[in-house]
Chain A
């Protein structure tokens, strides 16, 4: 049986974020993760740097890009690194939607497909869905 050392016994809470902790192998992300993640810019710095869409103020670009359905996000990530950092994080995407005042709710439907054995999902803009 492997014992897990509880770090709080030695390190008080303020130690969180300590450089030692990030260097510790225990906290390292699996090496198999894409190398692109290393290049993904911090979104704040990407906002001050090059625009998301050339010629568009970033708030206008966000108005368009934040409406892209979630099932398109993975292909949008391939466009450029700035888009990777926007579409790569669902937390960031939905936080920005909230910040910019997008109130139309999305409904996520998950379904198990009997024939293919796959779990499929699709989001719907609730504004355009009618209930019977």
Chain B
């Protein structure tokens, strides 16, 4: 019956740290995960999103509202995405790519993963390991051998103190 009244339907999303967010259904269904829930009729109450924290969900909802307000103009959407991601730090980007994957939002997923790859450019190996929490499994000799193979690629790399 609510759909007949003509007012936009609002969904309530709950993050894994119990924050509640209201979002217009038309924006929320950019997420295929949420769209499926709506179509299956299980979006009546609160929609729990167990893999997304409140801070990340707030960002994702800002994106949903922003991008759905833009009419079908791919150029404008792209420039919105670029602007939206330009001030995000690496940790936020990492949280967002996981959220985009869980929510099944391909446009956000593509944009964030491209941004992550772009941020990685010109960063030192140590920076990449630190940011991704990757353990160095080379022995010192092996690492020296890999670096020796491609010495020239380490020219022009930013110094390690840039966080």
Contacts and interface: CB of A to CB of B under 8 A. Distances in A.
A66 to B, nearest CB: 8
Interface string A55-97: 1110110011101110110111111111110000000000000
B134 interface: yes
Contacts of B97: 56, 60, 63-64
Interface stretch (B2-10, B36-44, B116-124): B116-124
Smallest CB-CB A-B distances: 7 pairs: A67-B117, A74-B150, A74-B153, A63-B113, A64-B113, A64-B116, A78-B125
Contacts, number: 88
Contact of B153 (A56, A65, A71): A71
Interface in A8-66: 34-36, 39, 53-57, 59-60, 63-65
Interface of A: 34-36, 39, 53-57, 59-60, 63-65, 67-69, 71-72, 74-84
A15 to B, nearest CB: 34
A131 to B, nearest CB: 17
Interface of B: 94, 97-98, 101, 109-110, 113-114, 116-118, 120-122, 125, 128-129, 132-138, 142-143, 145-147, 149-150, 153-154, 157
A93 to B, nearest CB: 13
A56 B109 CA distance: 13
Contact of B134 (A53, A57, A60): A53
A60 B98 contact: yes
A80 B98 CA distance: 22
A116 B122 CA distance: 23
7 contacts: A34-B145, A35-B142, A36-B145, A56-B97, A60-B98, A71-B153, A78-B125
A65 B32 CA distance: 24
Given A60-B98, A63-B109, A78 B147 contact: yes
A39 B101 contact: no
B120 A68 contact: yes
